[in-house]
A = this chain, B = another copy of it.
Amino acid sequence: MRSDRPPPLARTDVPDSDVVLSSRVRLARNLTGEPFAHRCDPDRSRSITAMLRGALLQGDLDENLSWIDLETASGHDKQLLVERHLISRHLAESTTPRGVAVADDETMSVMVNEEDHIRMSAIAAGLQPERCLRRLIRLDGELETRLNWAVHERWGYLCACPTNVGTGIRFSAMVHLPALRMTGEFAKVRQAAKDLHLAVRGYYGEGSETAGNFFQISNQRTLGVSEEELLDQFQRVLIPGVVRYERAARDVLMDRERLAVEDRVHRDLAQLRAARLLKADEAMRRLSSVRLGICLGLIDEIPLDTINALFLHTQSAHLRDRVGGTLSPADARAVRAELVRQMLSL
């Protein structure tokens, strides 16, 4: 596992990247004739893992995947995978035989023995869920020629959790909503999302609701609709609606409180460039502010890619990887500050 490469989501020459950091689509699939993952004993989990690993690594897939065995991986490597959004915290902390297959450029990962036997997901910068869906459908089709998925003729794909039954699909977008938070309108948007059956989570999932004003927005319906209908609604209606709200809030801020916004974003950038000690949550908060400043045209000397990359590289396991050893919390703050200063230097 390498930590020094840029994240795939650092690209900014993509649709709606001022608000949408990345799009992600995930398909859940289970093997027919096998118990769901949480009902398997270790031997069964191990044999399922081996079978799926074999199917994923056969040379004739369109994707070129590498396997990481999570039963034997170090805690550090698992943490790195979580920080890079390649596996869930749940899969990292599980003790069952399990693994993940990852594409070279990290835009695709296939978790084995998470909540379902297989959860494959693809990620793309900006608002590009269709691109992700096409890749997954192709991979799913290839895997179907060598594996038998559990499908019910009326309900669709069977999953461990009933909310995933049907298409087994989840579309999600990581959106940056600092202006909606500053104008106090975020609560309204959150309620509207709820009414539209969208789930809103924080950057690190549940319980991180306000970190850096990033939110994962995802569909919750999977039953009784087709993948194409879900895609169309997500891509053309739901996320564009959120994007419009955020842009309107940014316009309001610039009209009514431009100097206060300039003050805020320039101070945050200055502090990131000056700090000698920097905690993770402070880094996230100030980077979020600088990202807004760049999108508003108030800061022009720093590429958005640099900020997007810093969200990744300032996380704990990435810092540990950088120094090649353990890091006390105090040392991590110093290393984080040095990295940020270096990447944002004039």
Contacts and interface: CB of A to CB of B under 8 A. Distances in A.
A182 interface: no
A223 B260 CA distance: 55
A260 B274 contact: no
A339 to B, nearest CB: 15
A276 interface: yes
A327 to B, nearest CB: 14
Contacts of A158: none
A270 interface: yes
A263 B277 CA distance: 6
Contact of A259 (B262, B263, B274, B276): B276
Contacts of A110: none
Contact of A263 (B262, B263, B269, B275): B275
A266 B274 contact: yes
Interface in A252-270: 259-260, 262-263, 266-267, 269-270
Contacts of A263: 275-277, 337
Contacts of A235: none
Contacts of A267: 270-271, 274-275
Interface in A175-194: none
B271 A334 contact: no
A274 B277 CA distance: 19
